[in-house]
């Protein structure tokens, strides 16, 4: 399982003790750095799985970058690591549009001897109504998108696969303390919410490790450069974090950029604000937010990057030599993204 024995620090779990290491892989620099850290620590790629949660579900893009799925697949292929996609059916838009309906089932891929099959779970909850965007807040009960579209999806796919029973699983995520005061309070190592190690009937040992919790952004870009991995196009367009393209936490500059180079998307979101009569920021419309910012110059000057961002194919190299590797325009930029 291991190429070399890794250095084990007080905050590093005994990686050899796990049957499976699953990385919550958004395609952003932090989950990428977490994956690269595992590989650099000597973990054999054969015991790693990547799991990507599609924010927009199985339908057309609404909030997210169109190319993200293809980018994640390109990374997985490059390292020869399996990737499994999962989502809440209908994604962000269906959840936001609930009007007296239960939250949608979760769809996830499961490995088989010959490939993958698709399974579903949930969908029998109590009826509820949202008819507004999530609130721009750290509290996940009102900023429901992170919980319903990512955290709960990972939990459901673990709880609904017997292959995790009587095994030791390590869930790896890429949150860093530097990103926000809320994230600074996260533990580096804890039991995962799906852990059932004490159960007599269905035992499941699941730990949750945040290996780069203490890293600064420079350290993140350093490891990506060492591996020569080309960052997601969002960073090349000026975004400093890979959240959804139209993340509710978007800065004035980001909304201004979307208005200028992804106008169709902007108008789609704007139409939903008008329909609900409740705006993302509650105090102003996205058009008013955009008016306070300036589009990222790199996005205005590089139509080929804009085209890549709206494509469903990653049709450029995924890796280059460390000497050729370029720090993207968005690196060390404004900290606009989920708290």
Between 61 and 63, name the residue whose CB sits nearer to ligand SF4.
Answer: 63
User: What DSSP line would sit under 190-234, residue for residue?
Assistant: EE-TT-BTT-SSS-BEEEEE-TTTT--HHHHHHHHHHHTBPPPHH
Using CB under 6 A as the binding rule, the residues of this chain from 206 to 245 that contact ligand SF4 are 243-244
Using CB under 6 A as the binding rule, the residues of this chain from 56 to 95 that contact ligand SF4 are 63
List all residues 6 or more positions away from 287 whose beta carbon is below 8 Å from its beta carbon: 259, 270
Considering only CA atoms, which of 31, 282, 289 is closest in space to residue 143?
282
Closest approach of Cβ 258 to ligand SF4, in Å?
13
Number of residues that bind ligand SF4 (CB under 6 A): 12
Between 68 and 236, name the residue whose CB sits nearer to ligand SF4.
Answer: 68
Between 81 and 234, name the residue whose CB sits nearer to ligand SF4.
Answer: 234
Dist CA 249 CA 339 (whole Å): 8
No. of helices (H) and no. of strands (E), the chain: 13, 10
Closest approach of Cβ 63 to ligand SF4, in Å?
5
Between 151 and 316, name the residue whose CB sits nearer to ligand SF4.
Answer: 151
Closest approach of Cβ 8 to ligand SF4, in Å?
33
Tokens found for residue 310: 């709206």
- Cα 48 off chain centre by: 17
Dist CA 39 CA 58 (whole Å): 30
Number of Cβ within a 10 Å radius of residue 80: 9
Closest approach of Cβ 79 to ligand SF4, in Å?
24
Between 223 and 245, name the residue whose CB sits nearer to ligand SF4.
Answer: 245
Using CB under 6 A as the binding rule, the residues of this chain from 126 to 165 that contact ligand SF4 are 134, 145-146, 149
Between 60 and 111, name the residue whose CB sits nearer to ligand SF4.
Answer: 60
Closest approach of Cβ 137 to ligand SF4, in Å?
10
Rounded to 5°, the CA angle 329-291-64 comes to 55
For residues 170 and 18, the answer to whether their CB atoms sit within 8 Å is yes
Between 149 and 212, name the residue whose CB sits nearer to ligand SF4.
Answer: 149
Dist CA 304 CA 64 (whole Å): 19
Closest approach of Cβ 166 to ligand SF4, in Å?
33
CA–CA distances in Å: residue 144 to residues 134, 139, 283: 6, 8, 19
Using CB under 6 A as the binding rule, the residues of this chain from 245 to 284 that contact ligand SF4 are 247-249
Cα dihedral across residues 266, 269, 271, 276: positive or negative: negative
Among 32, 48, 50, 55, binds ligand SF4 (CB under 6 A): 55
Between 21 and 248, name the residue whose CB sits nearer to ligand SF4.
Answer: 248
41 interacts with ligand SF4 by CB under 6 A? no
Between 21 and 156, name the residue whose CB sits nearer to ligand SF4.
Answer: 156
Closest approach of Cβ 284 to ligand SF4, in Å?
17
Closest approach of Cβ 115 to ligand SF4, in Å?
29
Closest approach of Cβ 188 to ligand SF4, in Å?
21
Helices within the chain (DSSP H only): 29-40, 68-79, 91-96, 144-146, 152-159, 181-184, 217-227, 233-236, 252-261, 263-276, 286-291, 297-301, 303-309
Dist CA 318 CA 56 (whole Å): 24
Dist CA 303 CA 291 (whole Å): 22
List residues near ligand SF4 by CB under 6 A: 55, 63, 134, 145-146, 149, 243-244, 247-249, 338
């Amino acid at each position: 399982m291991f190429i070399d024995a890794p250095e084990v620090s007080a905050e590093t779990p005994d990686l050899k003790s796990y049957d499976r290491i699953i990385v919550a892989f958004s395609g952003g620099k932090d989950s990428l750095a977490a994956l690269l850290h595992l590989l650099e620590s000597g973990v054999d790629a054969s015991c790693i799985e990547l799991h990507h949660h599609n924010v927009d579900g199985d339908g057309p893009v609404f909030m997210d970058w169109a190319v993200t799925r293809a980018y994640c697949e390109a990374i997985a292929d490059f390292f020869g690591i399996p990737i499994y996609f999962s989502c809440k059916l209908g994604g962000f838009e269906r959840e936001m549009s609930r009007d007296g309906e239960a939250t949608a089932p979760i769809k996830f891929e499961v490995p088989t001897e010959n490939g993958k099959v698709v399974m579903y779970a949930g969908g029998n909850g109590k009826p509820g109504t949202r008819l507004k965007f999530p609130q721009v807040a750290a509290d996940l009960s009102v900023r429901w998108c992170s919980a319903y579209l990512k955290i709960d999806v990972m939990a459901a796919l673990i709880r609904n696969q017997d292959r995790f029973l009587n095994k030791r699983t390590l869930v790896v995520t890429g949150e860093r303390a530097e990103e926000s005061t809320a994230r600074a309070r996260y533990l580096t190592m804890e039991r995962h919410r799906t852990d059932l190690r004490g159960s007599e009937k269905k035992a499941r040992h699941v730990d949750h490790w945040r290996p780069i919790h203490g890293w600064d952004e420079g350290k993140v870009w350093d490891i990506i450069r060492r591996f020569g991995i080309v960052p997601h196009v969002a960073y090349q367009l000026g975004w400093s974090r890979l959240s959804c393209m139209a993340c509710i936490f978007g800065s004035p500059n980001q909304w201004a950029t979307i208005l200028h180079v992804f106008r169709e998307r902007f108008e789609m979101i704007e139409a939903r604000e008008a329909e609900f009569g409740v705006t993302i920021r509650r105090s102003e419309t996205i058009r008013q937010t955009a008016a306070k910012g300036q589009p990222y110059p790199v996005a205005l000057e590089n139509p080929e990057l804009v085209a890549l961002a709206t494509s469903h194919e990653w049709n450029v190299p995924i890796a280059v030599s460390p000497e050729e590797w370029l720090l993207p325009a968005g690196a060390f930029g404004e900290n606009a993204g989920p708290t």
